[in-house]
């Protein structure tokens, strides 16, 4: 720990405590006022990721924290540097991803003074952080009380970022000059000697927390068991970001015990993995718009966030007077149509296990309800597989990618069309794949850096993006060479905002092309050359071969696939009409 002056010691104590608590990675954007923090992290042995662009740094930290399921620290200097963290912090808030945001600031006497590179950073991120602390500037010869304050602050920050609702925490830390590690002996506490310094570095953390599990109350288990027993025609809806670990296996046990279909969002963690069985339904987006009385359930169990599929949300909204029970271990509301009738605050895994045990004593009578969903599921994937033979079928790209990913591989999809392609056209499969997307605030910004952050934890990850999203975050590509990231980036280039082809405004020209599609005329081979990345431009029919080559390579690769958004939209509408005829014929 550097003890040159009050700043280096103060920063060193904070970083040392965070490391003891488990902090393993930090993303640093270079700057002057944050010098004490940067040096403390450099000396700590914590993995450093340095980014010249603050926005890219923040999204990289977000992606790394999401993939590793552990807090990542984020450091910048004062001024607008901190403001550039904002979009990623918004995403981390709504995605419930733990970030420790450490912004350096001027001391109180330089705020509102006209001092250069000084803005109001107090509660800069508003309600998007779980906690804000304006940490006072270090004092010369600070007391043991302040030492304990700083150690305890580190523990409270660490815990608050993870429980009870994971998310970002913001420490705004003031420093007076000198910021560099120059010796100022009068700064150091008189009570601090080499023995105490050694203890600060090697002793256990000053404070640790233990977290309770939300065990189901008897009335919760009884209520849910009675509701299921009285409802042979039930549904389980799993939206994005359901619990990981053993939850998918336990939920499919519940589905098998009840005979309920599981409508598994592509981001739920339920659609891909060894737990997948005949209860997992993934083709619902195509047939639910035409569902009749035969697909009307008596009960709905909901887990995770609001579904990616608008068709599924519309279907849930259409079910008046049907009980919808949402089960979550946090109190965050996840129903934008306000159809949930019962909200259960309980650990989803534990309540599933408890209800399965209860139903084993009172088995639900078998019925034909599941078979009806399975038949439609098969019809949808038969139609999708026919479409995949079409060279212009842009929706076949994500299924092509999934077939090439190794077990346990990572897939990150950008927003707009790629995430919808994944949700609509990726069939459930038993190969375990870790799937990510920025669906908290669902912006197109920062998705490339987020994916590269995830790739720092999951080497070989594949990122699938539209051209506009990729262009929006090209600065993030510098992380590949700087930090030895291995990733494959697939860019679907339909020359603008292809998602807008689905909106009614697409029928209004000339404003549509100029104001919405916004064609840019770019290709990305020059970006690959600039950042020293391999590049291939291929037609969709050659994607799998190109992807195999990229996955075997030790270098990162950009694979660009030209596409025609209007032509794909025509194919998609024809597909929907064929599914509609099938559904109607079965009613």
> Rounded to whole angstroms, how far apart are CA atoms 271 and 407?
14
Residue 266's pLDDT is 98
- For residues 131 and 157, the answer to whether their CB atoms sit within 8 Å is yes
Give the pLDDT confidence of 91-103 residue by residue, as tens digits: 999 999 999 999 9
Model confidence band, residue 248 (pLDDT cutoffs 50, 70, 90)? very high
CATH class of 388-578: alpha beta
Give the pLDDT confidence of 161-185 residue by residue, as tens digits: 998 999 999 999 999 999 999 999 8
* Residue boundaries of the structural domains of the chain: 6-179+189-202, 223-368, 388-578
Query: How much is the average pLDDT of 435-452?
Result: 96
pTM score, two decimals?
A: 0.95
Residue 343: exposed, middle, or buried by beta-carbon count in 10 A (0-12, 13-18, 19+)? middle
Residue 215's pLDDT is 96
CA distances to 56, 61, 215, 329, 354 from 212, rounded to whole Å, are 35, 27, 9, 11, 18
C-alpha triplet 528, 534, 536: angle, nearest 5°? 90
Residue indicated by tokens 């270098």: 555
- For residues 78 and 36, the answer to whether their CB atoms sit within 8 Å is no
Give the pLDDT confidence of 495-520 residue by residue, as tens digits: 888 788 888 888 888 888 888 888 88
Q: What's the CATH number for 223-368?
A: 3.40.50.1220
Structure tokens at 542: 């050659």
CATH superfamily of 6-179+189-202: Thiamin diphosphate (ThDP)-binding fold, Pyr/PP domains (3.40.50.970)
DSSP string, 382-402: HHHHHHTTSTT-GGGHHHHHH
Query: How much is the average pLDDT of 21-27?
Result: 98
For 475, list phi and psi in degrees, rounded to 5: -55, -30
417: part of which helix (H) or strand (E)? helix 417-425
Contacts of 115 (CB under 8 A, 6+ apart): 106
Residue 416's pLDDT is 87
Q: Which of 88, 252, 288 minimizes the C-alpha distance to 168?
A: 88
Model confidence band, residue 523 (pLDDT cutoffs 50, 70, 90)? very high
Distance of CA 578 to the CA centre of its chain: 34
Contacts of 548 (CB under 8 A, 6+ apart): 404
> Rounded to whole angstroms, how far apart are CA atoms 183 and 165?
42
- For residues 364 and 228, the answer to whether their CB atoms sit within 8 Å is yes
**6-179+189-202 against 223-368: fold identical:** yes
- For residues 425 and 384, the answer to whether their CB atoms sit within 8 Å is yes
Residue 517's pLDDT is 84
Give the pLDDT confidence of 226-236 residue by residue, as tens digits: 999 999 999 99
């Amino acid at each position: 720990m550097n003890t040159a002056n009050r700043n280096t010691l103060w920063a060193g104590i904070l970083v040392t405590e965070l490391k003891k608590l488990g902090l393993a990675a930090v993303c640093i954007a270079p700057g002057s006022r944050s010098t004490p923090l940067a040096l403390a992290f450099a000396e700590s042995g914590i993995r450093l990721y340095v980014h010249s662009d603050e926005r890219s740094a923040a999204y990289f930290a977000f992606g790394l924290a999401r993939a590793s399921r552990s807090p990542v620290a984020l450091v910048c200097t004062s001024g607008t540097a901190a403001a550039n963290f904002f979009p990623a912090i918004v995403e981390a808030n709504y995605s419930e991803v733990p970030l420790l945001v450490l912004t350096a600031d001027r001391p109180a006497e330089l705020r509102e003074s006209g001092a250069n590179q000084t803005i109001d950073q107090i509660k800069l991120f508003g309600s998007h952080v779980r906690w804000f602390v304006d940490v006072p500037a270090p004092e010369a010869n600070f007391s043991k009380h302040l030492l304990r304050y700083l150690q305890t602050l580190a523990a409270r920050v660490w815990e608050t970022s993870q429980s009870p609702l994971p998310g970002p925490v913001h420490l705004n830390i003031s420093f007076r000059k000198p910021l560099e590690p120059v010796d100022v002996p009068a700064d150091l506490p008189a009570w601090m000697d080499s023995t105490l310094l050694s203890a600060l570095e090697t002793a256990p953390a000053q404070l640790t927390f233990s977290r309770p599990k939300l065990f189901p109350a008897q009335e919760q288990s009884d209520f849910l068991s009675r509701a299921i027993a009285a409802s042979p025609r039930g549904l389980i809806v799993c939206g994005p970001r359901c619990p990981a670990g053993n939850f998918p296996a336990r939920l499919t046990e519940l589905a098998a015990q009840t005979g309920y279909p599981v409508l598994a969002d592509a981001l739920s963690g339920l659609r891909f993995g060894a737990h997948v069985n005949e209860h997992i339904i993934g083709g619902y987006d195509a047939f639910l718009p035409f569902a009749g009385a035969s697909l009307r359930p008596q009960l709905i169990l909901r887990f995770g966030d609001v579904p990616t599929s608008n068709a599924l949300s519309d279907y849930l909204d259409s079910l008046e007077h049907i009980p919808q029970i949402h089960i979550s271990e946090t109190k965050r509301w996840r129903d934008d149509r306000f159809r949930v009738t019962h909200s259960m605050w309980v650990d989803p895994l534990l309540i599933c296990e408890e209800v399965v045990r209860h139903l084993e004593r009172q088995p639900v009578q078998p019925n034909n309800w599941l078979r009806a969903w399975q038949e439609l599921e098969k019809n949808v994937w038969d139609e999708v597989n026919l479409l995949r033979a079409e060279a212009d079928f842009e929706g076949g790209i994500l299924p092509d990618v999934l077939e090439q990913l190794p077990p346990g591989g990572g897939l990150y999809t950008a927003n707009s069309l790629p995430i919808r392609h994944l949700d609509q056209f990726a069939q459930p499969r038993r190969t375990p794949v870790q799937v990510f997307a920025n669906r908290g605030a669902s912006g197109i910004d920062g998705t490339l850096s987020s994916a590269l952050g995830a790739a720092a934890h999951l080497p070989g990850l594949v990122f699938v993006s539209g051209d506009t999203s990729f262009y929006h975050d090209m600065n993030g590509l510098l992380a590949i060479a700087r930090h030895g990231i291995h990733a494959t980036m697939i860019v679907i280039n339909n020359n603008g905002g292809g998602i807008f082809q689905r909106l009614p405004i697409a029928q209004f020209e000339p404003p549509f092309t100029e104001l919405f599609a916004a064609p840019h005329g770019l290709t990305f081979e020059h970006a690959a050359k600039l950042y020293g990345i391999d590049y291939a431009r291929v037609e969709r029919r050659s994607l799998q071969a190109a992807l195999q080559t990229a996955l075997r390579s030790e270098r990162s690769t950009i694979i660009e696939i030209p596409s025609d958004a209007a032509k794909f939209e025509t194919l998609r509408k024809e597909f929907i009409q064929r599914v509609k005829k099938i559904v109607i014929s079965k009613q």
